[in-house]
């Protein structure tokens, strides 16, 4: 039984699969060649992250595939329904990367609140000559404690974001289509814990009341945040997207940054990924990372193990 981890998998995942009798191939095959590779090597399990696309043509032409796995949460690069129609199991790892993504959200949020993403660019260039000027330019930061963080989408990642926000003294409001109430438990280093009960807000109220907004929704056909939504937001607010590209209208975002309605944005995902708009890339009010939300050693270890466990359980169940 052969597994192709085309976008990589942790050593722990490989070791677990190999110990269970699978042969795991960790090789990046070009999209144009992957169908032939799967067929020529009798691959039964295909594991991907966000780079490899698993569309109808691949599913139709790879008759030996029994499992398609996504190392991560969103599965918009896989034709999930069609694969299931063809009797292929489709799995993902919804819990493994939640903490890593939530921590990246706050890395951006802390950075933007104090303009670190801009001063880190300018200090190497001007710090020796314009130190006092730069000090004045970046003296107008803001604290996060006591501010309102609005979370759009309150699944696993949204809840982890809420935990960090509550831990630093922020007011948390959320909007979710499926969850109207949520119990949040924060565990502390000494084994103690604290429970919070939150009730969902309306979307419009969240936009109006939040000092900062963090998006945690799957890929959408239409924008969630565009001109209408920006117009409802507080003047001087900030927005973070570590979910999926295309949920924010980036042209509208830039317009509202330029007219000072929005103080800053932080993007880990982009509309035109992997070739983001040059207008976005050049805008100093936008803090950017190249889609690395789940790219921590800890998350990748958990993803590999979780995928391996699911694959082994599926084969044991059907053998």
- Annotated active-site residue in 70, 159, 291, 302: 291
Which tokens is 253 given?
């975002």
Examine residue 43 and say whether the peptide bond preceding it is cis (omega within 30 degrees of 0). no
CA 26, CA 43: separation in Å to the nearest integer? 12
Number of residues in the chain: 319
Q: Is 40 helix (H, G, I), strand (E, B) or coil?
A: helix
Burial pattern 184-214, b for ≥16 Cβ within 10 A else e, equals beeeeeeeeeeeeebebbebeebbebbbbbb
Which tokens is 69 given?
């796995």
Query: Contact, 38 vs 4, CB < 8 A?
Result: yes
Catalytic site residue 273? yes
- Close Cβ partners of 54 (under 8 Å, ≥ 6 residues apart): 46, 48, 68, 77, 78, 79, 83
- Annotated active-site residue in 70, 244, 256, 302: 244
Give me the phi and psi of 262, to 5 degrees please. -105, 125
- Annotated active-site residue in 103, 126, 251, 273: 273
Name the residue among 172, 292, 281, 152 with its Cα closest to residue 223: 152
CA 297, CA 239: separation in Å to the nearest integer? 26
Map tokens 């814990």 to a residue: 193
Query: Contact, 191 vs 184, CB < 8 A?
Result: no
Query: Contact, 31 vs 25, CB < 8 A?
Result: no
Q: Residues with catalytic annotation?
A: 244, 273, 291
């Amino acid at each position: 039984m052969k597994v192709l981890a085309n976008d990589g998998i942790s050593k722990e995942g490989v070791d677990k699969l190999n110990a269970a009798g699978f042969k795991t191939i960790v090789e990046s095959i070009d999209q144009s060649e992957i169908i032939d590779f799967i067929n020529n090597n009798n691959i039964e399990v295909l594991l991907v992250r966000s780079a490899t696309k698993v569309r109808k043509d691949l599913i139709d032409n790879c008759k030996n595939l029994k499992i398609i796995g996504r190392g991560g949460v969103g599965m918009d690069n896989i034709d999930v329904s069609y694969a299931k129609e063809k009797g292929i199991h489709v799995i993902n790892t919804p819990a493994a990367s939640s903490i890593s993504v939530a921590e990246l959200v706050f890395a951006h949020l802390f950075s933007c609140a104090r303009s670190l993403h801009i001063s880190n660019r300018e200090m190497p260039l001007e710090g020796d000559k314009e130190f006092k000027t730069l000090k004045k330019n970046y003296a107008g930061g803001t604290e996060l404690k006591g501010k309102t963080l609005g979370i759009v989408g309150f699944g696993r990642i949204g809840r982890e974001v809420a935990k960090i926000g509550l831990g630093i003294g922020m007011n948390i409001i959320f909007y979710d289509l499926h969850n109207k109430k949520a119990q949040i438990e924060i565990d502390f280093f000494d084994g103690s814990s604290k429970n919070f009960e939150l009730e969902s807000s309306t979307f419009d109220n969240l936009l109006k009341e939040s000092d900062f907004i963090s998006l945690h929704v799957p890929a959408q056909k239409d924008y969630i945040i565009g001109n209408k939504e920006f117009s409802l937001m507080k003047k001087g607010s900030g927005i973070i997207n570590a979910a999926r590209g295309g949920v924010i209208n980036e042209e509208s975002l830039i317009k509202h940054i330029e007219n000072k309605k929005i103080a800053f944005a932080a993007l880990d995902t982009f509309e035109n990924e992997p070739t983001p708009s040059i207008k976005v890339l050049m805008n100093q009010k936008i803090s950017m990372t190249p889609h690395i939300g789940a790219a921590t050693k800890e998350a990748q270890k958990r993803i590999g193990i979780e995928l391996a466990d699911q694959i082994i359980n599926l084969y044991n169940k059907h053998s």
